[in-house]
Structure 1
Amino acid sequence: MESLCAANTTFALELLTKLCEKKSGQNVFFSPFSISSALSMVLLGSRGGTEAQIRKVALDVPVLSLNNAQDAHNGYQSLLSEINDPNTKYILRTANRLYGEKTFEFLASFIESSQKSYHAGLEQMDFLHAWEDARKQINGWVEERTEGEAVFSAVCFLEVHQCS
């Protein structure tokens, strides 16, 4: 888990530097942990050309360039279990969930691995024809998981297409 934390810290500082170049003199708010864990989940489900492209970009994302991708997945599993432990004296929770287009097929092994490593279940939705309903449902889930503290009017999608 230490290598994951070190890689995430490096990623956070590099991303902050890039964001500050574009937002000079402005406040910048982002979650490096959320971004890196989302990218790692994408890596978990990728194969072939998509996986190769992610690994090529991984040189710029230290979390993804750990010696072994499984090291990152295992690190997130340990870290998320520790963060979300209900027996601690603090309240700190993460909320991860995958949303996929209902017409896409997802491998059972990917769904199981996402749940195990990232505590992220998959819900398939009709993004093609009912994107507004999907947005409301996703925001409802976020509101429930954050006890009403964070509801956004827009949803950020990380789109992945198979590249050949």
Structure 2
Amino acid sequence: MQLFLLLCLALLSPQGSPSRRFRAKKKLPKEPPSRDFTFELYRALASASPGQNVFFSPLSVSTILAILSVGAKGSTQAQILGALGFNPQRQAITKFHGDFRRLLVGLTQHREGFELNLGNALFVSKGLAIDNIFRLAIMAAYLADTYSINFEDPAAAQKQINDYVARQTQGRITDLIQNLDSTDIMVMVNYIYFKAKWEIGFNNKTTQAQDFYMTPEKKLQVPMMNRKDQYFYFLDKDLSCAVVGIPYEGSAIAYFILPGQGKMEQVENSLSRKTLRKWTQLTMRRQLNLYLPKFSIEGTYHLEKIFPQLGIRDIFTHSANLSGIFKYSNILVSQVVHKAMVEVEESGTRAVSGTGAVFSFRAAFPNSKTITFNRPFLMGILENSTVLFFGRVMQP
């Protein structure tokens, strides 16, 4: 019998707001400790997709693994928790799950101009009982809902789950599941839908086609947004990259990292929580003439091929011990599918009309530094210290 895990995300950057304040960051519980899980996973995904776009949510992936760990036992649980950076000698397991709960509850709090919808759901085969302690634990700690479904009719079960995913992601992700069969007994879904307005929008009248160099020899034309204004900025001379932070309304910030020519691999190899903390702490507001592509990218990953690189192996074999979920011993995870998408675009007409005068005034500043994202770059969406999304843009 098999489990089928799905992670689906939609990240949208819609029409911007005329607001011009850089708002104070709202404090949220810190992200549960990790063995640099975010960047180990990123490097594994990037290595499997050379020269391609990469986009994923470390929060989503780590959440579904943490849920699995609640029902895993023995070495199966140890491998999962080890990949997530849990150290039983330094932290109690109850605190680990409690930190996750506080984080998820904090992230789902309502805030003006900022929408973050996240959740977890289990679709369990009709007539198959899951452990009640497991069900109550994941409902309390991970806000997970449980639904009964008939896997003996795979087509109907597939439609029911896909319809659920589509509703939760505002129709952005559809037909995620395409190969259910009658041997599947449970599907675990994690979803994140993020929608926020820029604090400082781009003027769509300034968007023009410009060259984007995928390599020094290969280029394509992309719609390049432009705005001269104050942004968070840091030049990391040690890693030969520039970091630009663009706040959304609310408290999330998009960070765009532009490596120097030929320095992408160096920056990727240096990615860590320490590096990210340095960037977020050292960025200062500065007048920039910013050129940023308008783009939409998505990524779909079969993580059962990636997790073994992080030390998570048992759950995909007959050595899997998921006895905390089911009383049966012959259960393993067949697939872990993760899908994420992002759209980055300029502000809409309403925002432009409210910022036009300021835009022309700002253009008079003589000390603006021009930053042009016309070659491969990295991006991350952070809420306080939590990395919601991370990726690499090789071809906008």
> Larger relative contact order (C-alpha < 8 A, sep ≥ 6)?
2
Larger-Rg structure:
2
Q: 1:61 aligns with which of 64, 78, 84?
A: 84
For 1:65 and 1:155, locate their aligned partners in 2 and report how far apart those are by CA, in whole Å: 37
Deviation of residue 130 (structure 1)?
1.4
TM-score after normalising by structure 2: 0.36
By percentage of residues, which structure has more strand?
2
User: Who is 1:52 aligned against?
Assistant: 75
1:97 aligns with 2:124: no
Alignment RMSD, CA only? 2.6
For 1:155 and 1:46, locate their aligned partners in 2 and report how far apart those are by CA, in whole Å: 27
User: Who is 2:68 aligned against?
Assistant: 42
Matched residue type, 2:75: A
By percentage of residues, which structure has more helix?
1
User: Who is 1:2 aligned against?
Assistant: 30
Matched residue type, 2:173: A
User: Who is 2:173 aligned against?
Assistant: 150
User: Who is 1:140 aligned against?
Assistant: 163
- 1:64-99 alpha-carbon deviations (Å, 9 max, x no partner): 44623322211121111111112x122111021112
3-state SS of paired residue (2:66):
helix
For 1:146 and 1:73, locate their aligned partners in 2 and report how far apart those are by CA, in whole Å: 25
3-state SS of paired residue (1:121):
strand
For 2:178 and 2:99, locate their aligned partners in 1 and report how far apart those are by CA, in whole Å: 27
1:116 aligns with 2:140: yes
Deviation of residue 117 (structure 1)?
0.9
Matched residue type, 1:7: S
Distance verdict in 2 for CA 1:152–1:30, change over 3 Å: farther
3-state SS of paired residue (1:95):
strand
Deviation of residue 57 (structure 1)?
4.4
Identity of aligned residues (%): 24
For 2:80 and 2:57, locate their aligned partners in 1 and report how far apart those are by CA, in whole Å: 19
Matched residue type, 2:55: F
2:34–2:83 CA contact under 8 A, matched in 1:
no
Deviation of residue 153 (structure 1)?
3.7
User: Who is 1:106 aligned against?
Assistant: 130
2:31–2:100 CA contact under 8 A, matched in 1:
no
User: Who is 1:73 aligned against?
Assistant: 97
TM-score after normalising by structure 1: 0.80
Distance verdict in 2 for CA 1:18–1:52, change over 3 Å: same
1:31 aligns with 2:57: yes
For 1:117 and 1:41, locate their aligned partners in 2 and report how far apart those are by CA, in whole Å: 9
> Greater CA deviation, 149-158 or 101-110?
149-158
Gaps of 5+ in 2: 1-28, 180-186, 189-314, 322-328, 330-396
Deviation of residue 147 (structure 1)?
2.1
Flag as ranges the 4+ runs of structure 1 deviating above 6 A: 158-161
Gaps of 5+ in 1: none
For 2:95 and 2:125, locate their aligned partners in 1 and report how far apart those are by CA, in whole Å: 29
User: Who is 2:153 aligned against?
Assistant: 130
Deviation of residue 23 (structure 1)?
1.0
For 2:95 and 2:128, locate their aligned partners in 1 and report how far apart those are by CA, in whole Å: 28
